[in-house]
Structure 1
Amino acid sequence: MKNNYNVEYDILLSKVHRWGELIRFGGTLLIDDIEEDVQNSLYLIQNQRDQFVSKVFSKKNLDDIKKYEIEAVNICILSLIVGVDLNLPHGDLIDLGVAALLKDLGMNRVPKEILYKSGQLSEDEIAEIRKHPIYSSQILEDLGFTKKIIDIVLDHHERWDGKGYPRGKSQDEINYLSRILSVLDGYISMREDRPYRESLHGYDAIKSIIGDNGQRYDPSILNIAVKSIGIYPIGSYVALNDASICQVVAINKSTPLKPIVKVIVNKNGTESKSNQLIDISDNNSFFIVKSVLES
C-alpha cells in the first residue's frame, strides 16, 4: 500500500538525514532503495500532486529538521514535477530525483564553521562551499552510482551564461537534467534564509527567477518550471481585491496569475467556515492584489 503525501514527505526527510549521517561516518547507501523512494514520490505526483506540492510550501519547524534536508526533499519533488511536465522518460525522472536528493552530500566535507556561519562569508569560504558539487560527485562515484547521476550532480551549479561552477560550462554544455535541477535549486534557495539576505516567499521567489533573462537558467526550462509551480504556488496565501485572504489550492497553467483559491479570512476579517473555492480565471469579479505571508 502506498503512503499518503504527508507520510511519504516525512519519511523522505528522515531518510535524507540518515543518508547524510551514513556518509559522515563512512557508511554506504543502497542505490535501489533510493530509486524506490523516488518512484514513490512519482506515484504521489501522479495521484496527489496538488497535496504533495502544498507540503513543499507549508511552514516547517527548522529546530527539528536541518534546512539542507528540507531543501533536498523540496527540490526533488519540484524537479520531478517539472520533469513530468517536460515529458521526460521514466529513467530520466528517476535519475533526476536521485540526483536532487543527493546533490549536496558534499556539504558534509565543508567545515561546519563555514556552513553555519552567521554573517558574510569570505572569498575563501565561498570558494570552499563552491567545491561541494565536486565533493558530492566524488562521494557518489565511490559509492558506485552511475556516471549519469554523477554528471547531473556535478553540473547543478553551472549557469546558462557560463559564470557558474565548478567548471564554468554554458548553455548546451550543461547536462540537461542539471539545468532542471538548477532552476528548482535556485527557487527553493531563495525561499530560505541566507547569511547575506532574508528569505523570499513564493511569489517574490518566482518573480525573481522570471527576471533571470537567460543568465543562470535555461530559458525553455524556466518557462515550463514557472507554469508547473505557478506564479502563486499551491499552499501560498494571497489577498484578493475584496480584502479577503485566500490560500492557493490549485494553479491554472494557461493563466498562472489566476489560480484557484480557498477563502481563509472573509472580507470582513472573520474566519471563513465555508471552504469556499474561487477560480479566479473563471470569475472576473476577483483578482489578486498581493501575496501575503502565512501567520
Structure 2
Amino acid sequence: MTTLTVDKLEPNMIVSEPVVTKRGQTIVKAGEKLTPQMIAKLTFYKIESATVEDIEEEAPVEEVPAPVQEETPEPKKTKPAQKEKKKEVDLAHPKEAVKQSYTQIPYTQRLKASPTFQKFQSDYAINLAFLQKNFDDILAGATCSTDEMLKNCESLFKSKTTIELLNMLGNMRNLEDPVYSHSLNVGLISRVIGKWLKLPLEDVNLLTLAGLLHDIGKTQIPKEILNKPDKLTDEEFATMKTHTTLGKKVLNGKGFDPRILYAALQHHERCDGSGYPRGLEEDEIDDFACIVAIADVYDAMTSARAHRDPLCSFQVISEFEREGLHKFKTKYILTFLEHIANTYNNSRVMLNDAKTGRVVYINKSSLSRPVVQLDSGEIINLADSAYSNFFIKSIL
C-alpha cells in the first residue's frame, strides 16, 4: 500500500482504505477504483491524501531475436486494385485522410476524448459534491449558500454553446446516483429554458435553484426503493411519490422563495390533472413548477436506465408530441421543444435503418421529424407519410 497526496492520484488506482471527511462522511470506499470525478470530489472536500494499492510493475519481457529469413525474389509489380489506389490518394493527402478518419469516429467518443469535456467532467464532479453538501446542510437545518450554488452552476456554462452543454450532460449519467446528478442536470436545463423564455435574470436564478432543489425529498425515500433496478410495486411507487410533499416539508421554513417550494411539491403535477400529489390542473400549478417539470422529464428520458438506453433528443420530442403536449403549459413546452429541435439542426444523425445523414431543415409542425440529407445525397422529409416507418435513432 502507498499513501499519495491527492494531486498524485490517478484514475484507475484502487483505494485500499476508506477515505473519510472530518465530519465522518465516507467519500470513497476501500476497494473502489478511482475516477476523475472521485479525485475532484476529494479535492473539493480538502482531503490531503489517500492510501492506494501498490501498482505491480510488469516484468521486463526478454527480447527474442527475430529469425533470419531468406531473401526471396521481388514479386512482379502488378496494377494496383481500385481499393489500393484510393489508399494511395489518401496517403498523398494526409490532412484529408486524418480529417476523414476523425469524422468517422462517433461524436460521443470524440466528445469524451476532448480536453473541454474532461475539464467539464472535473467541474461537474465538484459541483455534484457541493450540491450534496448543500442538501446535507439543509437537512441538518444549517444555512445554505444559494449564491455559491448559482456561481458554481453558472461556471458549467462558460465557453459552451447550448448543444455542447446538453451533449455533455447526456454523457455524465451515473446509474449509481439517482438524486444529485439528476438534480444538477435539471437545474442546468431549467436555467436554459428560463433564458429561452427571456425571463428576467432574477427569475432565471430562482428557476435554477428550483431545479437544483426539486428532488431533495428523495433523500427521505428508503434506498432500497430509490435504487431498485426493477419496476416498483404499487406500494413502493406510492412511497416514491411522497418525495414531493417531503421535499416541500424539508425546504419549508428555511427562507427559500415560495416558488422553490412549489417546484419541489408540484413538479409531478400535470396540466390535465393526471399528475400527483394532488392532481392539480393548469391554472393551479405554479409556473416554476411547470418549467422544472419539463426539465425533469427531459433529463429522465435522455438518461440511461437499468431497463433501457437513453433516448436521443428527437425521440424525446416525439414522445412529448405524441403523449405530452396537453400535460404541460403550452407556451413553455412549445418554446422548449422548438429550441431543442433547432439546437440540433445541421447535426449528423442516424436513422433506425442505420443510414446516416445531416439534419437540414426542422419541420415546425412536426419537430421530431425533420428533413435529412443522407450521406448518399438523397434528401428525405421524415414528416412525409412515405417515411412514417423511419425516425432518428441517435445524434452522431
TM-score (norm 2): 0.57
1:180 and 1:62, CA in 2 relative to 1: closer, same or farther beyond 3 A? same
Asked whether 1:60 is paired with 2:175, we answer no
1:77 and 1:61, CA in 2 relative to 1: closer, same or farther beyond 3 A? closer
1:164 and 1:40, CA in 2 relative to 1: closer, same or farther beyond 3 A? same
Number of equivalent positions? 268
Alpha-carbon contact 1:180-1:221 (below 8 Å) kept: yes
Map Cα deviations across residues 12-60 of structure 1 (whole Å, 9 max, x no partner). 333223334445666542222223334545x648x63332222123x23
State the partner residue of 1:201: 311
Larger radius of gyration: 2
**Which residue identity is paired with 1:29?**
C
1:287 and 1:253, CA in 2 relative to 1: closer, same or farther beyond 3 A? closer
1:169 and 1:144, CA in 2 relative to 1: closer, same or farther beyond 3 A? same
1:135 and 1:239, CA in 2 relative to 1: closer, same or farther beyond 3 A? same
Asked whether 1:146 is paired with 2:247, we answer no
State the partner residue of 2:392: 291
Distance 1:62 1:148 in 2: 28
**Which residue identity is paired with 2:163?**
D
State the partner residue of 2:102: none
Kindly indicate whether structure 1 or structure 2 has the higher relative contact order, using CA contacts under 8 Å at least 6 residues apart.
Answer: 1
Alpha-carbon contact 2:351-2:392 (below 8 Å) kept: no
1:81 and 1:253, CA in 2 relative to 1: closer, same or farther beyond 3 A? farther
Distance 2:395 2:324 in 1: 30
State the partner residue of 1:275: none
Alpha-carbon contact 2:349-2:357 (below 8 Å) kept: yes
Asked whether 1:51 is paired with 2:164, we answer yes
Alpha-carbon contact 2:357-2:372 (below 8 Å) kept: no
**Corresponding residue to 1:113 among 224, 230, 250:** 224
1:230 and 1:14, CA in 2 relative to 1: closer, same or farther beyond 3 A? farther
Distance 2:262 2:142 in 1: 22
1:231 and 1:259, CA in 2 relative to 1: closer, same or farther beyond 3 A? farther
1:294 and 1:148, CA in 2 relative to 1: closer, same or farther beyond 3 A? closer
Alpha-carbon contact 1:252-1:259 (below 8 Å) kept: yes
In structure 1, the gaps of 5 or more residues are 268-282
Map Cα deviations across residues 197-256 of structure 1 (whole Å, 9 max, x no partner). 524412222210122354421222111110121178589861379x764688x9969695
State the partner residue of 2:242: 131
Distance 1:160 1:260 in 2: 34
1:20 and 1:199, CA in 2 relative to 1: closer, same or farther beyond 3 A? farther
Distance 2:297 2:361 in 1: 21
Q: Secondary structure at the match of 2:349?
A: strand
**Corresponding residue to 1:70 among 166, 178, 181:** 181
**Which residue identity is paired with 2:295?**
L
1:115 and 1:240, CA in 2 relative to 1: closer, same or farther beyond 3 A? closer
231-240 vs 214-223, greater mean Cα deviation: 231-240
143-152 vs 124-133, greater mean Cα deviation: 143-152
Alpha-carbon contact 1:240-1:286 (below 8 Å) kept: no
**Which residue identity is paired with 2:161?**
Q
Distance 1:155 1:118 in 2: 25
Counterparts in 2 of 1:215-294, with a 5 A limit?
215-230=326-341, 233=344, 238-239=349-350, 245=356, 258=370, 285=379, 290-293=391-394
Kindly state the Cα deviation for residue 182 of structure 1 after the two structures are TM-superposed. 0.9
State the partner residue of 1:277: none
**Corresponding residue to 2:279 among 153, 168, 193:** 168
In structure 2, the gaps of 5 or more residues are 1-115, 383-389
1:244 and 1:198, CA in 2 relative to 1: closer, same or farther beyond 3 A? closer
**Which residue identity is paired with 1:201?**
L
TM-score (norm 1): 0.73
Asked whether 1:101 is paired with 2:101, we answer no
Q: Secondary structure at the match of 1:239?
A: strand
State the partner residue of 2:290: 179
RMSD: 3.8
State the partner residue of 1:274: none
**Which residue identity is paired with 1:157?**
H
**Corresponding residue to 1:12 among 127, 135, 147:** 127
**Which residue identity is paired with 2:208?**
G
1:290 and 1:240, CA in 2 relative to 1: closer, same or farther beyond 3 A? same
Distance 1:78 1:260 in 2: 27
State the partner residue of 2:36: none
Distance 1:193 1:231 in 2: 24
